[in-house]
Structure 1
Protein backbone atom coordinates (compact mmCIF):
# COMPACT_ATOMS: atom_id res chain seq x y z
CA UNK A 1 0.00 0.00 0.00
CA UNK A 2 2.90 2.32 0.78
CA UNK A 3 4.29 1.72 -2.72
CA UNK A 4 0.97 2.80 -4.26
CA UNK A 5 1.04 6.13 -2.39
CA UNK A 6 4.71 6.62 -3.27
CA UNK A 7 4.06 5.92 -6.96
CA UNK A 8 1.09 8.32 -7.01
CA UNK A 9 3.16 11.00 -5.25
CA UNK A 10 6.08 10.55 -7.65
CA UNK A 11 3.71 10.74 -10.61
CA UNK A 12 2.24 14.01 -9.32
CA UNK A 13 5.70 15.50 -8.76
CA UNK A 14 6.75 14.58 -12.31
CA UNK A 15 3.45 15.87 -13.74
CA UNK A 16 3.73 19.28 -12.10
CA UNK A 17 7.46 19.62 -12.81
CA UNK A 18 6.84 19.42 -16.57
CA UNK A 19 5.13 22.82 -16.53
CA UNK A 20 8.10 24.63 -15.02
CA UNK A 21 9.97 27.08 -17.23
CA UNK A 22 13.22 25.93 -18.75
CA UNK A 23 16.64 27.38 -17.93
CA UNK A 24 17.36 30.85 -19.25
CA UNK A 25 16.05 34.34 -18.78
CA UNK A 26 12.54 34.67 -17.43
CA UNK A 27 10.54 37.85 -16.80
CA UNK A 28 8.53 38.05 -13.57
CA UNK A 29 6.42 40.75 -11.96
CA UNK A 30 8.02 42.29 -8.88
CA UNK A 31 7.52 44.84 -6.11
CA UNK A 32 10.57 46.87 -7.12
CA UNK A 33 10.68 50.16 -8.98
CA UNK A 34 10.86 48.39 -12.34
CA UNK A 35 7.92 46.25 -13.37
CA UNK A 36 9.98 43.55 -15.05
CA UNK A 37 12.90 41.64 -13.53
CA UNK A 38 14.88 39.01 -15.41
CA UNK A 39 15.98 35.80 -13.75
CA UNK A 40 19.38 34.42 -14.63
CA UNK A 41 18.86 30.67 -14.12
CA UNK A 42 22.06 28.62 -14.04
CA UNK A 43 22.47 24.92 -13.23
CA UNK A 44 23.63 24.65 -9.63
CA UNK A 45 23.71 20.86 -9.25
CA UNK A 46 22.54 17.63 -10.84
CA UNK A 47 21.65 14.56 -8.81
CA UNK A 48 20.72 11.01 -9.82
CA UNK A 49 18.77 8.84 -7.41
CA UNK A 50 17.54 5.27 -7.68
CA UNK A 51 14.29 4.60 -5.81
CA UNK A 52 12.63 1.22 -5.17
CA UNK A 53 9.02 1.54 -6.35
CA UNK A 54 7.53 -1.94 -6.74
CA UNK A 55 7.99 -5.69 -6.41
CA UNK A 56 6.23 -8.28 -8.55
CA UNK A 57 6.47 -11.98 -9.23
CA UNK A 58 6.91 -13.63 -12.60
CA UNK A 59 6.94 -17.23 -13.72
CA UNK A 60 9.31 -19.03 -16.07
CA UNK A 61 10.03 -22.57 -17.18
CA UNK A 62 13.18 -24.42 -16.06
CA UNK A 63 13.72 -28.11 -16.89
CA UNK A 64 10.03 -28.49 -17.76
CA UNK A 65 9.04 -27.14 -14.33
CA UNK A 66 7.25 -23.88 -13.77
CA UNK A 67 9.08 -21.67 -11.27
CA UNK A 68 8.37 -18.27 -9.74
CA UNK A 69 10.79 -15.43 -8.99
CA UNK A 70 10.50 -11.98 -7.49
CA UNK A 71 11.53 -8.90 -9.47
CA UNK A 72 12.21 -5.51 -7.86
CA UNK A 73 11.43 -2.40 -9.91
CA UNK A 74 13.47 0.78 -9.46
CA UNK A 75 13.14 4.27 -10.96
CA UNK A 76 16.25 6.26 -11.82
CA UNK A 77 15.39 9.94 -11.32
CA UNK A 78 17.46 12.93 -12.42
CA UNK A 79 17.01 16.14 -10.41
CA UNK A 80 18.47 19.41 -11.69
CA UNK A 81 18.67 22.41 -9.35
CA UNK A 82 18.80 25.90 -10.87
CA UNK A 83 19.96 29.04 -9.03
CA UNK A 84 19.39 32.72 -9.86
CA UNK A 85 22.34 34.73 -8.52
CA UNK A 86 20.50 38.03 -9.04
CA UNK A 87 17.59 37.24 -6.69
CA UNK A 88 18.89 34.28 -4.69
CA UNK A 89 16.02 32.06 -5.92
CA UNK A 90 16.24 28.34 -6.60
CA UNK A 91 14.05 25.93 -8.55
CA UNK A 92 14.36 22.27 -9.43
CA UNK A 93 13.19 19.88 -12.12
CA UNK A 94 12.89 16.10 -11.74
CA UNK A 95 12.74 13.66 -14.65
CA UNK A 96 12.29 9.91 -14.84
CA UNK A 97 15.39 8.66 -16.68
CA UNK A 98 14.98 4.88 -16.59
CA UNK A 99 12.87 2.05 -15.16
CA UNK A 100 15.12 -0.77 -13.93
CA UNK A 101 14.02 -4.37 -13.27
CA UNK A 102 16.27 -6.52 -11.04
CA UNK A 103 15.53 -9.63 -13.12
CA UNK A 104 15.44 -10.00 -16.88
CA UNK A 105 11.99 -11.27 -17.90
CA UNK A 106 9.44 -10.75 -20.64
Structure 2
Protein backbone atom coordinates (compact mmCIF):
# COMPACT_ATOMS: atom_id res chain seq x y z
CA UNK A 1 0.00 0.00 0.00
CA UNK A 2 2.78 2.43 0.78
CA UNK A 3 4.38 1.54 -2.53
CA UNK A 4 1.27 2.54 -4.45
CA UNK A 5 1.27 5.89 -2.66
CA UNK A 6 4.91 6.43 -3.57
CA UNK A 7 4.21 5.50 -7.19
CA UNK A 8 1.19 7.81 -7.27
CA UNK A 9 3.28 10.73 -5.97
CA UNK A 10 6.00 10.02 -8.54
CA UNK A 11 3.46 9.99 -11.37
CA UNK A 12 2.00 13.29 -10.21
CA UNK A 13 5.48 14.82 -9.94
CA UNK A 14 6.54 13.51 -13.37
CA UNK A 15 5.05 16.49 -15.24
CA UNK A 16 3.49 14.14 -17.80
CA UNK A 17 -0.07 15.33 -17.31
CA UNK A 18 -1.29 11.98 -16.00
CA UNK A 19 -3.80 11.69 -13.18
CA UNK A 20 -3.49 8.41 -11.26
CA UNK A 21 -6.48 6.77 -9.57
CA UNK A 22 -5.25 4.83 -6.55
CA UNK A 23 -7.61 2.31 -4.96
CA UNK A 24 -5.02 1.11 -2.45
CA UNK A 25 -3.72 -1.89 -4.38
CA UNK A 26 -3.91 -0.75 -8.01
CA UNK A 27 -3.13 2.46 -9.80
CA UNK A 28 -5.13 3.25 -12.91
CA UNK A 29 -4.02 5.88 -15.37
CA UNK A 30 -6.31 7.64 -17.78
CA UNK A 31 -3.97 8.48 -20.62
CA UNK A 32 -5.37 11.38 -22.63
CA UNK A 33 -5.30 11.20 -26.44
CA UNK A 34 -2.25 12.81 -28.00
CA UNK A 35 -3.45 16.09 -29.43
CA UNK A 36 -1.04 18.37 -31.25
CA UNK A 37 -0.88 20.60 -28.18
CA UNK A 38 -0.15 17.63 -25.91
CA UNK A 39 2.57 16.44 -28.27
CA UNK A 40 4.22 19.88 -28.08
CA UNK A 41 4.03 19.75 -24.28
CA UNK A 42 5.70 16.33 -24.27
CA UNK A 43 8.44 17.63 -26.56
CA UNK A 44 9.05 20.52 -24.13
CA UNK A 45 9.37 18.07 -21.24
CA UNK A 46 11.71 15.94 -23.34
CA UNK A 47 13.93 18.94 -24.18
CA UNK A 48 14.14 19.80 -20.49
CA UNK A 49 15.25 16.26 -19.67
CA UNK A 50 17.74 16.27 -22.55
CA UNK A 51 19.29 19.46 -21.21
CA UNK A 52 19.53 17.89 -17.75
CA UNK A 53 21.34 14.91 -19.30
CA UNK A 54 23.80 17.21 -21.08
CA UNK A 55 24.47 19.13 -17.87
CA UNK A 56 25.15 15.83 -16.09
CA UNK A 57 27.61 14.82 -18.80
CA UNK A 58 29.39 18.17 -18.51
CA UNK A 59 29.53 17.88 -14.72
CA UNK A 60 31.14 14.46 -15.04
CA UNK A 61 33.67 15.94 -17.47
CA UNK A 62 34.46 18.77 -15.06
CA UNK A 63 35.02 16.33 -12.21
CA UNK A 64 37.27 14.14 -14.34
CA UNK A 65 39.25 17.20 -15.51
CA UNK A 66 39.78 18.24 -11.90
CA UNK A 67 40.95 14.72 -11.06
CA UNK A 68 43.43 14.79 -13.96
CA UNK A 69 44.79 18.18 -12.91
CA UNK A 70 45.17 16.95 -9.35
CA UNK A 71 47.08 13.88 -10.54
CA UNK A 72 49.38 16.09 -12.61
CA UNK A 73 49.84 18.48 -9.69
CA UNK A 74 50.88 15.56 -7.47
CA UNK A 75 53.29 14.39 -10.22
CA UNK A 76 51.43 11.09 -10.65
CA UNK A 77 51.01 11.78 -14.38
CA UNK A 78 53.05 13.87 -16.78
CA UNK A 79 51.92 17.07 -18.45
CA UNK A 80 51.62 15.16 -21.74
CA UNK A 81 49.39 12.58 -20.05
CA UNK A 82 47.29 15.43 -18.68
CA UNK A 83 46.78 16.92 -22.13
CA UNK A 84 46.08 13.52 -23.69
CA UNK A 85 43.56 12.77 -20.97
CA UNK A 86 41.88 16.14 -21.41
CA UNK A 87 41.62 15.59 -25.17
CA UNK A 88 40.14 12.13 -24.69
CA UNK A 89 37.66 13.47 -22.12
CA UNK A 90 36.61 16.24 -24.48
CA UNK A 91 36.07 13.76 -27.33
CA UNK A 92 34.05 11.47 -25.06
CA UNK A 93 31.97 14.38 -23.82
CA UNK A 94 31.29 15.59 -27.35
CA UNK A 95 30.35 12.08 -28.50
CA UNK A 96 27.93 11.53 -25.63
CA UNK A 97 26.30 14.94 -26.03
CA UNK A 98 25.88 14.22 -29.75
CA UNK A 99 24.25 10.89 -28.85
CA UNK A 100 21.84 12.66 -26.50
CA UNK A 101 21.00 15.16 -29.26
CA UNK A 102 20.46 12.38 -31.81
CA UNK A 103 18.21 10.42 -29.45
CA UNK A 104 16.27 13.64 -28.79
CA UNK A 105 15.76 14.32 -32.50
CA UNK A 106 14.51 10.79 -33.13
CA UNK A 107 12.19 10.89 -30.13
CA UNK A 108 10.83 14.31 -31.09
CA UNK A 109 10.03 13.04 -34.60
CA UNK A 110 8.36 10.00 -33.05
CA UNK A 111 6.26 12.11 -30.67
CA UNK A 112 5.19 14.58 -33.35
CA UNK A 113 4.29 11.84 -35.84
CA UNK A 114 0.51 11.60 -36.14
Specify the TM-score bucket, using the shorter chain as the normaliser: under 0.3
Normalized per residue, which structure has more strand? 1
The TM-score normalised by the length of structure 1 is 0.27
The TM-score normalised by the length of structure 2 is 0.25
Normalized per residue, which structure has more helix? 2
